[in-house]
Structures are given as C-alpha cells and as structure tokens.
Amino acid sequence: MDRHSAEPAVDAMPGEKAERWAEFHHQHSAPSTYVYDFVWDITEDAEGPFCTDVDGNVLLDFTSHVAAAPLGYNNPKIMDDLREFDLVDPNKIAGQDFYFSSGESPDEASVPGPAHLMEELVERTAHYDADTVFLSNSGAEAVENAMKICYDHRDGAKYAITFDGAFHGRTLGALSLNRSKEVYRRKFPEIPGVHDVPYCDDTACDPATCSCGFFPGGTDDPSLLRKKLDPKTGHINPDEVAFLMMEPIQGEGGYRFPSDSFMEEVQDLCATHDIPLIADEIQAGVGRTGEMWGSDHYAIEPDVITAAKGLRVGATVSNSDIFPDETSRLSSTWGAGDVLSSLQGVLTLRAIDEHDLLDNADEREAQFRQHMADADIPGVEDVRGKGLMLAVEFSDKDRRDAVLEAALRRGLLTLGCGTKVIRLLPPMDVTEREMAIGLDLLVESIQKVARERPAEADD
C-alpha cells in the first residue's frame, strides 16, 4: 500500500467474511462495546490511517483504536526501528521481580526497555516535579495505582472528588469515580466517600457566564467545589480528601474542553488544601492534543499523571514523596514486564520528538476547524478540539448515530462519545491530504443524513 496515494474503497460493510469472523468471535466472547463489525485483516496492506478489512475494503481509520494506536497501522516511524531488534521469548517477564538487559550498561542497551521508558516519562513530566514511575498493563491499572498511592500519602483520608461525565476505567476502584454512562457502574460495589461536582462544558465561560453549575452564583458566589470544601461551612473536610481526579479533557464524557477559569479554580483549591490532583491523561496525553499532556494547556499542576493507550503500557507518574517507600506496597507480575510494549512506548515518544508530531497536531487541528467552518453541515451544534482530539456535536443522538453509520459506509471509521458527539482521533502523523479525505467523507455523511432527515424533524 502506498500511503501517499491510498484512498478509501468500500464495497459492503460489513462484508460476508467480516460477518463470519464477528459471529465466530462472539461464540465465546463476553458482551462488550464492539462499535461495528469492522474486521482488520492483519495479512493485508495497512499503513498509517489506512487499513484493509477481511473483505478487501480499504478504510480510513480516524479512531486510532481509541487512541491506543497513536501512529495508526504499520507506521514506518515505528516499524523501521522495531525491525532492527531481535525480539525474544518471553516478551513479557515478571518485571516487578526481575530485570532484563540488552547490553553491558543502560547507555549501551540495544533494546530500550521498561527502565528507559520510565526515564523518558520522567523527562517529559519534570515540569510537574515528577521523578518516579510505576508501570502496569493498562490505563485502569494506572488509575488504580494512582488512587492507592494518594490514599497512602494522605494517611488513609476517606474522601475522593470526581466530576460529572468522568470516565476512568472499568476496574472496581476506577468505576467508583465514573460519572458517565450508568451501565458502567450498575449493581457493582463502589469505594465509599466519592463526591462529584460539575465538569465545565464551555471552554469560554467564566464565573459570570457559567452554565454547567460549577460556578452557581456568578462572580460574587464561590464555586460549588469551594463551598463543599470550606472548612467552616462545607460538608467535606478538605484534610480528609485523598485526591481529586480529573481528565484535563473529558473523553468518554463527550470531548469536553474546560475553561481557563474552571481549571484555575480547581488548581487553586487543590493547592490551598494540599489535595493531590490526579490528571487522567490516558486519552489526552502522549502528544494527542498538540502538547505532551492535556494538562499542559491549562493552569493545573498535577501531582500524579496516569498514562496508557498511546504510551502502549500503563504508567502512574508522580514524585517519590507521594509514592510509598515500603517495598511490595505496589507490585504486579506483568507490570514493567512487557518488553515489546515498553520498546514501542519509547519509540513512540521518540517519534513524537523526531518528526515534530506536536506541531503536526496543531496544524491538522487548524485544518479541521477551517474545513468544517467552510462546509455546509446541517444538524451540527458544535465543532471543537485540541490537536488531534477532535469532536463534532450533533443536535441529537439519532442524528449522530446515523452519521457514524453513513461515514462507515464511505470507508471512514469514527467513534461516538457522550450522548451525541462524534470523536475523531487520526494518527498523530496524519497528513494534510489524509485529513482532507477524512473530513470530506465526514461532511458528505452529515449532508446525506440531513437530506434523509431534515432539521425540522428534530423538533
């Protein structure tokens, strides 16, 4: 496949072979999300955002596997380097109990490993005074360990603060902080003492114009969070808050980009009451937004960062003062033990630097905004984004779902989030040509749905 000339080409979605593969998969799989029956054929051509499915359809993937494939498919920026290494078995070692080497010293290593990845992460979080990393398998594990070290650091403080619309994972501890779809938490036990407050949904708001409820009474009234934490009149003792966890940009909750006023207030309260601020960077981090971390766009100064997806492994990053000193307090057989994933994580971070991918994210965001501003897009309420974390919000869920389906039929893979939002997560090296192709397909899909369902049908 020549990425420079490839085009989406779809005969039928799903095709007969895809339907058979999906049926085979579901014979033994537990029910899960499964957005649609797209079956990638790993034996066929794929590069960057382009991939081939089992029926020979060529698709433009603007999901990047929910940001977990930051450079798309078979990208030479990673693959050329991977081919230089003689990989071994086991690729996963008991990384919390054993080390591995690929040379006489770390400086002479032929294969960057978990220790090199931790070094790269500390370098990229030094402005938040981070110096310590715990690696794990997934984002949910990164969140769980962030919670654990904060409960330990705050000497067993019993409260935690989360936000409306939050999504932090599917393990029981992480679920306790989720405030997006109720299906994620239904009938499962939860950690007690978790309080929630509104999350800003207007990037331009201030206390006088706030509509989400975080600033309920205008400029002369404290924020809802400040009221809750007030030592004299509030109902949450700030000394007993173990942590406040937030996504600097909400993902599953609807790609919500907060205002500066909101973030400044969160930071001020965490600093005033010495409450550890955990930034869940699992979707927004690792360069996706045009900065290395979503937090870098705002006034917040996280005490703990959780990363995964584009990093290829889970990581809890903080200062050694917050991590427990006692050995075995944190551990995991496979944590820090996935040799291949750690190598991919190092190569991904280096590719971001070497190929100026943060700048590319900013340029493609500008292209997205201009393209959508110039287009006729009926039924669209908002277009927003930072870097390559992009969103289009529709008038209602049914219209959003219809556009998702119409885009799929044209060979463009996208994802929903929130209740009526489409999110776009192109590979971080997506080109101007590829972006234009994808946006043309999206606009065509919006217009097709509008012809079939005029705006007045929403009334």
pLDDT at 437 over 80: yes
User: Closest by alpha carbon to 305, among 67, 130, 165, 179?
Assistant: 130
pLDDT at 458 over 70: no
304-307, strands of its sheet edge to edge: 132-136, 314-318, 304-307, 277-280, 241-246, 159-163, 194-197
What pLDDT is stored for residue 455 in this prediction? 67
By the 8 A CB rule, do 372 and 383 touch? yes
By the 8 A CB rule, do 148 and 322 touch? no
pLDDT in tens, 262-298: 999 999 999 999 999 999 999 999 999 999 999 999 9
pLDDT in tens, 120-159: 999 999 999 999 999 999 999 999 999 999 999 999 899 9
Q: Which residues contact 454 (CB under 8 A, 6 or more apart)?
A: 378
pLDDT at 336 over 90: no
What pLDDT is stored for residue 165 in this prediction? 96
What pLDDT is stored for residue 457 in this prediction? 53
Coil vs helix vs strand at 92: strand
33-42, 340-349, 394-403: segment of lowest average pLDDT: 33-42
Partners of residue 317 on adjacent β-strands: 133, 305
By the 8 A CB rule, do 199 and 211 touch? no
By the 8 A CB rule, do 245 and 166 touch? yes
Task: Report the 10 Å Cβ neighbour count for 216.
Answer: 14
User: Closest by alpha carbon to 458, among 395, 365, 413, 364?
Assistant: 395
Domains and CATH numbers, the chain: 16-77+357-458 (3.90.1150.10), 106-354 (3.40.640.10)
Instruction: Identify the band that residue 414 occupies on the pLDDT scale cut at 50, 70 and 90.
Output: very high
By the 8 A CB rule, do 359 and 169 touch? no
**Strands (DSSP E) along 342-436, which ranges?**
380-386, 389-394, 412-413, 415-417, 421-424
pLDDT in tens, 149-194: 999 999 989 999 999 999 999 999 999 999 999 999 999 999 999 9
Report the alpha-carbon distance of residue 247 to residue 235 in Å, rounded.
Answer: 24
- Total residue length of the chain: 459
Report the alpha-carbon distance of residue 130 to residue 277 in Å, rounded.
Answer: 13
Which two tokens mark 222?
Answer: 């404290």
Q: Phi-psi region for residue 167, left (φ > 0), alpha (ψ -120 to 50) or beta?
A: beta
Mean model confidence pLDDT for the chain: 95
Which two tokens mark 85?
Answer: 């290494």
Report the alpha-carbon distance of residue 63 to residue 257 in Å, rounded.
Answer: 19
**Strands (DSSP E) along 137-179, which ranges?**
159-163
Which phi and psi angles does 212 have, rounded to 5°? -85, -15
Q: What angle do CA 135, 137, 26 make, to 5 degrees?
A: 175
Report the alpha-carbon distance of residue 400 to residue 415 in Å, rounded.
Answer: 10
pLDDT at 459 over 80: no
Which phi and psi angles does 279 have, rounded to 5°? -100, 115
Q: Which residues contact 20 (CB under 8 A, 6 or more apart)?
A: none
Q: Which residue has the tokens 């679920």?
A: 175
Q: Which residue has the tokens 């693959």?
A: 79
pLDDT at 345 over 90: yes
Q: DSSP states of 405-423 as a string?
A: HHHHHTTEE-EEETTTEEE
What pLDDT is stored for residue 98 in this prediction? 87
Which phi and psi angles does 250 have, rounded to 5°? -75, 135
Most confident of 70-74, 91-95, 333-337: 70-74
pLDDT in tens, 294-312: 999 999 999 999 999 999 9
Which phi and psi angles does 132 have, rounded to 5°? -140, 140
User: Closest by alpha carbon to 199, among 223, 220, 183, 182?
Assistant: 223
User: Closest by alpha carbon to 253, among 195, 364, 168?
Assistant: 168
The structure's pTM equals 0.95
Residue type, 50: F
Query: Omega into 231 within 30° of 0, i.e. cis?
Result: no
Helix (H) or strand (E) holding 335: none
Task: Report the 10 Å Cβ neighbour count for 351.
Answer: 20
By the 8 A CB rule, do 385 and 417 touch? no
pLDDT in tens, 351-409: 999 999 999 999 999 999 999 999 999 999 999 999 999 999 999 999 999 999 999 99
Report the alpha-carbon distance of residue 335 to residue 281 in Å, rounded.
Answer: 19
pLDDT in tens, 212-245: 999 998 888 999 999 999 999 999 999 999 999 9
